[in-house]
Structure 1
Amino acid sequence: MEKPTTPPAIGDADRSGGLLATSILALSTVLIFIALRFVTRIWLVKRVGWDDWCIVFAGFGHIIGMGLITVQIKYGFGRPAYYLTEHQFQEFMKYSYGEWLQTFATLTFTKISICLFLLRITVTKAFIRPLYAAIFVLAVSNVVLSLVWILQCRPHLDKAWNSKMPGKCFSKGQLERIIISQAIISIISDFFLSAFPILILRKVQISFRSKVGLCLLMGLGVITGSLSLVRTALNYQNVTNDPTWLSIPNWYWRTWEVLFGVVAACIPTLRPLYKWLVQEYTRLTSASKSSKPITNHRSSSKPSKAFQNKAYGAKLDESVTREEDILPLQNFEGAGGLGNVEREVKQHSQEMKTGESQGFKPGLHLHGDLSTNRPGHFKRWDSEARIGGEYGVEEVEDRI
């Protein structure tokens, strides 16, 4: 590809500052979210899976991509190609050739990470098989498109950025079709993976608000798919005689697509970190309130030591075993007061003994919603909801 021979009407404009600032912002955001994800996995969940390592590979790809963009800016990206020297234009084309390969790989690793994450929370073959199929399609398509992009010129690969080399290269239309093919696969996978949590959680017996929240957290890929649609519509800007200037809008949309893809893959995994922060805030708030004199005689009685110290085998949340959080249960009509709590714990202990031989784990439940203090609702601490007939909501959240 040769640079233009006539000067543009805009003159020797320069937009490299915005490109560099966006690169730094995008890279910083990606690294922060990946770091928070690993803090959550290592410190709270204490389990790191292949979905986490895939997002690390995507992060490395993004680092490489931002490094390539920095070099491209050095060689004239952000300025009209007419004002660049032959050497500058050739070097820009060379690093742009490599930057597209990085984009293909980074987006692929991001989507495979989301697939592996969804495999954590589903157990039925009806859901597992489509996810494995998606991983296979993403991996194979990335390899094929990358090889086609690498071999776009023959017999000398460097003719892709050095027009003086002998040989033959793909036409502009053929190069555009390669990029569009990758974009179509990316768009379909984004919307498919965004809709998948709805299928997984639709039969889970949790509140509608919680269900919508989980679906929104795990369905942020809709944003990535929308950005990819815009990037595809502007695809013509990549195959032009003035790529250092006319392809700038497409580069912005492509960068935001990669950025939001990584963020969408990381945000659902930060749920345990969010819950821990809320729990710590509640504990500190409760501790400060409990240090003040208690004027209400109904809440002045202490919970029984048997309930505080005895291990009943039930899977209890730590926030319920603390004294300051047990006290309000004595006045909770829906739960029946502390006596009902102790009876339910003892009953659950008996159920555990009789149920282990039958291969199931009965859940501890109290009549009433402990989170809202509304009697008449049903809340189960181990959750009676089952996905695929085996796992409950808490088990699913543990897998997240």
Structure 2
Amino acid sequence: MMDNKGPMIIGVCWTFTALALLFVAARLYVRACIHQKLASDDYLIIFSSSCAVLSNVLVTMSVYWGNGQHFDVLDLEQKQNTIKWMIAAYIPGIETLGFPKLAVIALLVRLLAPSRLHIIVLWSMGVICCLSLTAMVMTLILQCTPPRALWTLTLPHNCLHPSVLEGLAFWASTCSAFLDFYLAIYPAVVLAKLQMPVKKKVALCAALGMGIVSGCVGIVKATGVPTLASPDASYDLCDPLYWTSIEGNLIIIAACIPILQPLLEKIRGRSIWRSKQSSGNKHQYQDFSKQSQQQADALELRSKPKKKVDEYGFTMHPKEDSEENIVDTSKLSSTSSSRRQSGSYQPNDRDGILKTNSVTVAYEPGEDGPVSAPTRWAAV
């Protein structure tokens, strides 16, 4: 059995925080340098990552005084400073569980364009989660009267029953885990109904669904709530401490991943949804005007070129194609020529079959005017 968890606590907390900071830096680069604009959710992520760093600094201080060791091997000064710095580390650490969720909600509202009622529900759940976590922090600080009696062991005090803090901690942890799962499943349900390549749909579901991992960590952390009343505080309470750091940093990472597509495309030099064969083309659309001297203005919006074009600009398909021989071009040519010579030819005469393609453009209103679905998803 490990008698000193201190090095493990520092290693786990700083490793996950450093990884989260890399994703935050990449996110800010995309928003500030590529999009040249920071949104409100970016500031929430900056605040959350700052709380994560501050929490790690305080965790390191608590380990210095004895956090991770058994309580009975510490002297009085070590016991008091361990409890003081450990509680101080919990305060910003717990806040990293709530504010990144608000950033995820802001992103999903912008991308998925839910109904007004659903927007209210999403923000209500986010606010309730943040308030629950804040209430837990305040209860942790003010559970004793006077508050400093919590870490000053020689000071007479009157504290709340441990079950009060345990119940509030369990509620806050459960609420946080539930919201993580909801924010991960909701995009998958919406994306399943959209018409887009399966590869992109799966990738977006994975990117927007990273909250499932942090939700699982939240469940694990919730099972450690009863240790809050443990008499071996310096040893037993360090487990929820580093699980809190892991969960908070995973939420920050999950909030950053969907924003990083432009950076990935810049590194690869092409769209991540386009194959290598098509990426060699410098332009997205090809001009097939050189295929026929009689086709003055031909612009093809598809990947394969036309095999053959007749004198009227129609595509001539193979015989097995269902559109072959719809119009007899030789008969049509002779009929049109005779009509021109007799002077009876009119441009609106029905010389053949008229095929009309109808294109419908759908858009949804945004804050700055109509915003199309492709525009909303351009960031991911």
Query: Do these two structures clear the TM 0.5 threshold for a shared fold by scoring above it?
Result: yes
Instruction: Note the alpha carbon deviations across 1:46-96, whole angstroms, 9 max, x for none.
Output: 221011100100001001110011001101012111111111111111112
After TM superposition, give the deviation of residue 130 of structure 1 in Å.
2.1
After TM superposition, give the deviation of residue 101 of structure 1 in Å.
1.7
User: Which residue of 157, 160, 166 corresponds with 1:170?
Assistant: 160
> Could you say if the C-alpha distance between residues 193 and 54 of structure 1 is closer, same or farther in structure 2, counting changes exceeding 3 Å?
same
Q: Residue 257 in 1 paired to residue 217 in 2?
A: no
Q: Residue 141 in 1 paired to residue 132 in 2?
A: yes
For 2:89, the equivalent position in structure 1 comes to 99
SS at match of 2:78: helix
Q: Which amino acid aligns with 2:224?
A: L
CA contact (8 A) 2:180 2:212 kept: yes
Q: Residue 83 in 1 paired to residue 63 in 2?
A: no
SS at match of 1:87: helix
Q: Residue 132 in 1 paired to residue 123 in 2?
A: yes
In the alignment, the residues of structure 1 paired with residue 195 and residue 304 of structure 2 have an alpha-carbon distance, to the nearest angstrom, of 14
Q: Which amino acid aligns with 1:231?
A: K
Q: Residue 63 in 1 paired to residue 23 in 2?
A: no
For 2:327, the equivalent position in structure 1 comes to none
Tell which structure's C-alpha radius of gyration is larger.
Answer: 2
Q: Which amino acid aligns with 2:104?
A: I
> Could you say if the C-alpha distance between residues 77 and 267 of structure 1 is closer, same or farther in structure 2, counting changes exceeding 3 Å?
same
Q: Which amino acid aligns with 2:43?
A: W
- 5+ residue gaps, structure 1: 1-9, 290-318, 346-365, 371-375, 377-381
CA contact (8 A) 1:45 1:272 kept: no
> Could you say if the C-alpha distance between residues 256 and 330 of structure 1 is closer, same or farther in structure 2, counting changes exceeding 3 Å?
farther
TM-score by length of 1: 0.70
In the alignment, the residues of structure 2 paired with residue 274 and residue 369 of structure 1 have an alpha-carbon distance, to the nearest angstrom, of 27
SS at match of 2:96: helix
Alignment of 1:1-400 (within 5 A): 13-123=3-113, 124-154=115-145, 156-280=146-270, 322=282, 343-344=298-299, 366-367=301-302, 391-400=371-380
CA contact (8 A) 1:77 1:244 kept: yes
Instruction: Note the alpha carbon deviations across 1:256-303, whole angstroms, 9 max, x for none.
Output: 212211111111111221122233599xx99xx9xxxxxxxxxxxxxx
Q: CA RMSD in A?
A: 3.5
Q: How many residues are matched? A: 319
CA contact (8 A) 2:126 2:179 kept: no
After TM superposition, give the deviation of residue 321 of structure 1 in Å.
8.2
In the alignment, the residues of structure 2 paired with residue 22 and residue 383 of structure 1 have an alpha-carbon distance, to the nearest angstrom, of 53
% identical equivalent positions: 21
46-55 or 128-137, larger mean C-alpha shift: 128-137
In the alignment, the residues of structure 1 paired with residue 38 and residue 281 of structure 2 have an alpha-carbon distance, to the nearest angstrom, of 28
SS at match of 2:68: coil
- 5+ residue gaps, structure 2: 306-320, 322-358
> Could you say if the C-alpha distance between residues 165 and 385 of structure 1 is closer, same or farther in structure 2, counting changes exceeding 3 Å?
farther
After TM superposition, give the deviation of residue 143 of structure 1 in Å.
3.5
In the alignment, the residues of structure 2 paired with residue 281 and residue 398 of structure 1 have an alpha-carbon distance, to the nearest angstrom, of 11
For 1:296, the equivalent position in structure 2 comes to none
CA contact (8 A) 1:76 1:92 kept: yes
After TM superposition, give the deviation of residue 387 of structure 1 in Å.
6.3
CA contact (8 A) 1:45 1:398 kept: no
